[in-house]
Amino acid sequence: MGEKYVVFQIGEGNYSIPLEEVFQIIRYENVTGVPTAPTFVDGVINVGGDVIPVVNLRTRFSLERGEVTRKNRVIIVQKQEVRYGVLVDSVREILDLDQDSVASEAASVFGMKSEFVRGIVKIRDYLLVLLDIFRVLSTAPEVSIKE
Amino acid sequence: MAFTGLDDKKLLRAFLEEAEELLEKLNENLLELEKDSGNPDSINEVFRLTHSLKSESALLGFNHLSELAHRLEDVFDRIRGENLTLSRPLMDAIFSASDLIHEIISRISAGQIETQIDTRAVLGELKQLAGLELPGPSQQPLEAEAAVSAAPGSAELTLQPFHRLQISEALERGEKLFLLSLKVAEEAEIKYPRAYLVFNNLELITNVIQTVPNMTVPQDDRLYERIVILLSSDLPEDQILATCAVDLIEEPELEVLNRSRIDELMRQGDRVEQTAIRTSRPTGSARIESASVRVGTEKLNEIWQLVGELTIYKAQLTQLHDRLSRRRENESIKGEVERASDSLERITAEMQQAIMGTRMVPIAILFNKFPRLVRDLSRKLGKNVELEIQGKDTEIDRTIVEVLSDPLTHIIRNSLDHGLEDPEERKKANKPEVGRISVSAQQQGGKIVIEVADDGRGLDVAKIRKKAGIDSDISDEEAVQNIFSPGFSTKEDVTDLSGRGVGMDVVATRIREDLKGEVEVRSVTGGGTMIRILLPLTLTILHSLVISCAGYYYAIPVQDIKETVKVTEQNISIEGENEYYDYEGQKVALLRLDSVLLGPSAEPSSRGQETNGVVVAQRRGTACLLVDELVEEEDLVIKPISDLLNHRRLFSGVTVLGDGRIIFILDTARIIEIIESGGFDGV
């Protein structure tokens, strides 16, 4: 039995983060815009009295913004009491991943810089990028995530 | 007992809390040692625990307790040094000693006196088994130990030798001895004050020898249901009974003690001596009464979070009520909603206060470190220093205490190190050889004021001027504030630091940014330096003005606001790229909030017409912020804001209003700082 991962889609790519980093998954609703915030921050969202920034991963990955649809989800990730919301196109599934099946040589799949990738897995008919989401979130706005 | 002032009571409470924790750990480790007598970790831990207990109890004057702890410490010191092995009988003696410590502490906690317990037998046993040298038996005053449970009808009354002395003196004066018992009616919600009234009446006209429960130090209120007072007087009985004419005092009974009852009381001592220890065996049964509870910060924060949410729903209800009252129908529902809303408002406010109270701690927990610091450091530096501390009881948010500790320590260190001269220099300057440092705290309005002053050489204004490149038209008073400027003391020659307030820039950053406080310095050359720190009472609730601007809502802390004004074209003057507002004849920087926050490209909201202005003042300057609307004043529960949203640091926090609206709290100090340094040029 491996660790559980949340699989989501952004554009054509499939990405994944460990379930234990996820606090909650919610719909994209009631997002308040924030003046002075970087462009990839859509705004803030109120989760149980906490004000959490919502990062638009499409924008962060230099993709077109795209319409917000019913399939969009905000994944609330948490590390050391600090929470962020991550807007993704859709949440695909939750997977059990065996560490052995993860290719650790971080290839630049989907043009991602390797420091943001923890590994790559081949799942049935698609490739899955294990994302270091907190590194993505803590990287300065002007630094590109893509190569 | 020397516990009279408020300080001492708080100290005692803190000691009891601490002792309870120490005892718990002691028990744990002793139990561990019983299983594994050679466990070095447990041996060391017990040594450490008994050592702490020894010093702490000695500090408060509990000599018996301290002595017991001291002996245990000796025993474990020998075990540590492998001069002694933990035998079965020794272990038993150690447990007896630990039980006795527990017993003494629960007595102290119940307001009794520690000497009521005989420690001699246990100390003797320890000595014999561990081969310790005990101080002579004179250390243990023979007659002082006896706990006296007096005659029937006064079962709870315990007499000390001192009381017995009082009794015989009273009898010699020809007074009679009375036992007064009374009840406080069940319907009295708080009993102690009523009982105290009677006690006070009695004190005025009779000689009160002993009361149960203790009247001078308030105990758990429930204990005051029934009170027994032993007193002597030459007054007639009806006059003594008249003192009980207090509302809700019931069934006063006055018994004149005849000779045989008195003898019985006085004799009791000899008999009880032996039983005192033997009854105290099971540790678990002796419960320590403590007036306060330790609560984990995490739990406290959770409650705090809930209160925050409660506040939000309160506001929501108020708004619903407002909307409802604009419609005509549903008159009766409106009334009900109004009442519910009023109650909720009141309860939330009270709860907020109460919870806030739990976050507050006396600043003594910080100040109490300083005597030791000053002592050690002054020895090292070869200076004579007297430290004066005032306002220890001032209460302050515990999160503030944590952050304040380092800067305050640094300021005191600075005073010692660079402010105060050595004795030679002081003599030459005609100053007393002993230097003085005083530390004080007090609450002034919504702020805590902390001052650290010394009578040393003061700051070197000339050096500061030179270093900071200050014009001569700036007063000395203002020039010295430069020690707080970022990077000031680290600029150059680190070798010659005196007179320049070393590291004060770091201190100031801590206080201003992390604590939202203010810091300023006053200095007299040759006369001394005084650092004053102003801190908010708490960091989590801020009374603020909510404003709107270009579709967003912001809050400005009311404490930063001087005034709200109407700004028209006439009061605006333009100089170069900057605009100024004529505020009471003074030109203050005018800032269009929309352009600051959204960039100069933002659609000017209402240029040309009359606009709302908020004049905000900080130590560094004053500015007028142009906003669209003044919305309302609110108590806001401040949450931290993610760096991701705040890369320009214009906000000090964020909060959610009742209707879910998210509000950003403007950091006016930062905004003014940017204005002053020309950061908003052309905006």
Q: What is the pLDDT of residues A54-104, one digit of tens each?
A: 999 998 888 888 788 888 999 999 987 788 999 999 998 888 888 777 776
For residue B338, the cross-strand partners are none
Say whether B309 and A49 touch across the interface (CB within 8 A). yes
Asked if B305 reaches chain A (Cβ–Cβ under 8 Å), the answer is yes
Is pLDDT at B415 greater than 70 in this prediction? yes
Give the per-residue pLDDT at B275.
Answer: 33
* Residue A29 CB contacts under 8 Å (≥ 6 apart), including other chains: A45
What is the pLDDT at residue B66?
A: 86
Q: Over chain A, what is the mean pLDDT? A: 85
Partners of residue A56 on adjacent β-strands: A87
What CA–CA distance (Å, rounded) separates B357 from B355? Answer: 5
Give the Cα separation of B193 and B113 in Å (integer).
23
| pLDDT value of residue B531 | 94
List the single residue in A36, A38, A55 with the smallest CB-CB distance to B597: A36
Contact B655 A38 (CB under 8 A): no
- Exposed/middle/buried for residue B388 (C-beta within 10 Å: 0-12, 13-18, 19+): exposed
Angstroms from B678 CA to nearest CA on chain A: 19
The residue of chain A with its CA nearest to that of B662 is A32
Q: Which CATH number fits domain B541-676: 1.10.286.10, 2.40.50.180, 3.30.200.20, 3.40.50.1820?
A: 2.40.50.180
Q: What is the residue-averaged pLDDT of chain B?
A: 78
CA dist., res. B454 & res. B663, Å (int): 44
Give, in degrees to the nearest 5, the angle at Cα B512 between B508 and B514.
Answer: 110
Q: Does domain B6-139 have CATH number 2.30.30.230?
A: no
Parallel, antiparallel or unpaired: strands B207-212 and A3-10: unpaired
* Residue located via tokens 């926050």: B597
Is the pLDDT at B596 greater than 90, yes or no? no
Report the range of poorest mean pLDDT among B330-344, B502-516, B641-655: B330-344
How confident is residue B329, by pLDDT bands cut at 50, 70 and 90? Answer: low
Backbone conformation region of residue B503, classed left if phi is above 0, alpha if psi is from -120 to 50, else beta: left
**Which A-chain residues 22-41 have CB contacts (< 8 A) with chain B?**
30, 32-38, 41
The mean pLDDT value for B102-116 works out to 77
Tell me the per-residue pLDDT of B434-450, one tens digit each, with 9 for 90 and over: 999 999 998 876 678 99
Specify which residues B524 forms β-bridges with.
B528
Q: Tell me what pLDDT residue B225 has.
A: 85
Which residues are B434's β-sheet partners?
A: none
State the pLDDT at residue B493.
Answer: 43
Q: What is the pLDDT of residue A109?
A: 64
Tell which of B596, B662, B670 to mutate to test the A interface (max A CBs under 10 Å): B662
Handedness of CA B214, B218, B220, B223 (dihedral sign): positive
Q: Is the per-residue pLDDT at B183 higher than 70?
A: yes
Find where tokens 């702020």 sit: B447
- Position with higher pLDDT, A86 vs B480: A86
Question: What is the β-pairing status of strands B360-362 and B226-233?
Answer: unpaired
Q: Does B662 touch chain A (CB under 8 A)?
A: yes
Q: How much is the pLDDT for B601?
A: 55
pLDDT band at B583 (very low <50, low <70, confident <90, very high): confident
| Token pair for B417 | 């190190």
Answer yes or no: do A37 and B655 touch at CB < 8 A. Answer: no
With cut-offs at 50, 70 and 90, classify the pLDDT of residue B521.
Answer: very high
In one-letter notation, the amino acid at residue B178 is: F
Scanning A49-108 for CB atoms below 8 A from B yields 49-53, 55, 82, 84
pLDDT at A29: 84
Q: According to the model, what pLDDT value does residue B450 have?
A: 95
Contact of A48 with chain B, judged by CB distance below 8 Å, is answered with: yes
pLDDT in tens, B484-518: 887 776 444 443 444 455 678 878 888 887 887 88
Domains of chain A (ranges, CATH numbers): 3-138 (2.40.50.180)
Fold observed for domain B148-279: Alpha-Beta Plaits (3.30.70)
Q: Which two tokens stand for residue B9?
A: 């009571």
Please answer yes or no on whether B654 and A84 come within 8 Å at the CB atom. no
Tell me phi and psi for residue B59, to 5 degrees: -60, -35
Least confident of B184-188, B475-479, B600-604: B600-604
Check CB contact under 8 Å for B646 and A50: no
CB contact (8 A) between residue B660 and residue A46: yes
The answer to whether the Cβ–Cβ distance between A34 and B645 falls below 8 Å is: yes
Q: What is the per-residue pLDDT across B268-310, written as a single tens digit (0 to 9) for each? A: 644 433 333 333 333 333 344 445 556 666 777 777 777 777 7
| Contact yes or no for A35 and B597 at CB 8 A | yes
What are the tens digits of pLDDT across the range B49-108? 888 888 778 777 788 888 888 888 888 888 888 778 888 788 888 888 888 888 888 888
Reported as a pLDDT band with limits 50, 70 and 90, residue B143 is very low
3-class DSSP state of B468: helix
Name every chain B residue with its beta carbon within 8 A of the beta carbon of A51.
639, 641-642, 654-656, 662
Mutate to test the interface with B, among A29, A30, A34 (most CBs of B within 10 A): A34
A34-38, B132-136, B578-582 — most confident range? B578-582
Query: Under a CB-based contact definition with an 8 Å cutoff, are residues A28 and A112 in contact?
Result: no
Q: Distance (Å, rounded) from C-alpha B91 to C-alpha B126?
A: 9
Q: Please check the confidence at residue B607 and state whether its pLDDT lies above 60.
A: no
CATH number of B364-536, picked from 3.30.565.10, 3.30.70.260, 3.40.190.10, 3.40.640.10: 3.30.565.10
> To the nearest whole angstrom, how far is the Cα of A46 from the nearest Cα of chain B?
7
